[in-house]
Amino acid sequence: MNLNQLANNLNILCRSVGAFIKKEGEGFERSSIEQKGFNDLVSYVDKEAEQKLVEGLRQLLPEAGFVTEEGTDTTRGERFNWVIDPLDGTTNFIHGLPAYCVSVGLMDGDEVVLGTVFDPNRDECFWAYKGGGAFCNGSSIKVSDAPALKDGLIATGFPYFDFGLTQQYLQVLGAFMSRSHGIRRIGSAALDLVYVACGRFEGFFEYNLNAWDVAAGVIIVQEAGGRLSKFTGEGDVVFGREIVASNGSVHPEMLQTIGEFWKKPVA
């Protein structure tokens, strides 16, 4: 398979779906949103964007299956699977906050080999494939060379409901506040990851994410020279539901800071 050519076609598709989302955001009626669960919003834009992606990706790689947030196609491929978040940052989108993106990764078995994250508001297309380096639009990107947490800007996402974890999460936040340049909370995990890849953030951590939130970002961070792990420092970050991404240098301090306060929830 020619991953470079597939990446080019994937970028074109993500750009076109991103343009659709941005267009629908103009004059978007909040009354059209649905609630999947507590603090779990979805709109017709998420669903239509996903349908467009699935249709386009079926043409690009007919043998691949799908893992998607809105469940347009649940067929699993024997080897290849597209992992799709059609609109990452739905809450931002619904509120007219221009911080959302399209995120699509391709898995070969249990490994992400290709990914694109497109932000239609900044017209930034982040992409990477295994062994090919990471890019934003036409330029090569790499993680920040800041050596220590005290020189770093750290991103996170807040838990959506209380697993009984809010207090320890706030303690982790407090520790990062005093040990880094600061904390940012954008509301799109895919953007958080690619901002680690291009050096805007030194690190990012979040609990309870899904594979579609992170698949594309994972390969982009890897190819940009970053490090990824679960909170414990190891484990599958795509389906593992928790992630730490960093420039590598600040990773040990991040794991240490999280580990001081984070005790596994009672399932």
Binding-site residue set for Mg(2+)? 69, 85, 87-88, 213
Long-range contacts of 51-57 (CB under 8 A, 24+ apart): 52/13, 52/16, 52/17, 52/20, 52/86, 53/13, 53/14, 53/17, 53/82, 53/84, 53/86, 53/102, 53/104, 54/82, 54/84, 56/13, 56/16, 56/17, 57/10, 57/13, 57/82, 57/84, 57/104
In a 3-state reduction of DSSP, which class is residue 166? helix
Give, as ranges, the residues between 193 and 232 that touch Ca ion (CB under 5 A): 213
- Dist CA 134 CA 138 (whole Å): 10
Of 3-11, 23-31, 185-193, 234-242, the window that binds ligand 2AM (rule: CB under 6 A) is 185-193
Q: Give the CA angle between residues 9, 10, 12 to the nearest 5°.
A: 65
Cβ proximity to Ca ion, 145 vs 160, nearer residue: 160
Q: Work out how close the CB of 22 gets to ligand 2AM at its nearest, in angstroms, rounded to a whole number.
A: 15
- Select from 5-13, 133-141, 182-190, 230-238 the region that touches ligand 2AM (CB under 6 A): 182-190
Instruction: Determine, following the binding rule CB under 5 A, whether residue 73 of this chain makes contact with Ca ion.
Output: no
**Which member of 4, 8, 23, 40 binds ligand 2AM (CB under 6 A)?**
40
- Report if residue 88 touches Ca ion, rule: CB under 5 A: yes
Q: Which residue is nearest to ligand 2AM (CB)?
A: 157
Q: Is 70 in the site for ligand 2AM (CB under 6 A)?
A: no
The residues of the shown chain that bind ligand 2AM, judged by CB under 6 A, are 39-40, 69, 85, 88-91, 157, 160, 187-189, 206, 208, 213
